[in-house]
Amino acid sequence: MKNESGYITALSIIMTLIILSVMVYNAKLLMSERLFLQAREVWFQTSLHLQSGRKDLISKVRYEEEINDGDFGTFIYPDGRVNYFTTKLSDAIYVFRLEVRLNKSGSAIGLLYYDYVKNEVVKWVVV
């Protein structure tokens, strides 16, 4: 009975260390999830801007009478911009290189192979 106070002190220290280690683990897990969500948000924004640039470029190409090798331009959106560059692959096939730059962070590149005679997308590649 006289030695019980020593056991309670050791038990409370062990319990405190266990609780503290669980709290540290959960804090690291929370930080990891936050970083993952931030990376997914950047990926989503770049993907969204790439798709919007592709859509705007296709509608622009369909209404223009002529496309030239070396044409370039920029689509500006609230969160970033999409630059495009034109390369002639053959008489009917053009390759458009779309480069996305977000205002905060993030970038992506996409290649659009477009058949000008048939007015259709041949291939779409995200690099």
What single-letter amino acid sits at 68?
Answer: N
Query: What predicted TM-score, i.e. pTM, was given to this entire model?
Result: 0.78
pLDDT (tens digit per residue) in 5-20: 566 778 889 999 999 9
Give the per-residue pLDDT at 75. 95
Domain ranges of the chain: 4-126
Chain position carrying tokens 């053009």: 94
pLDDT (tens digit per residue) in 60-111: 888 876 788 899 999 999 999 999 999 999 888 999 999 999 998 889 999 9
The CATH label, of 1.10.287, 1.20.120, 3.10.450, 3.30.1300, for the domain at 4-126 is 3.30.1300
Beta strand extents in 4-126 (DSSP E only): 72-77, 80-88, 93-102, 107-115, 120-126
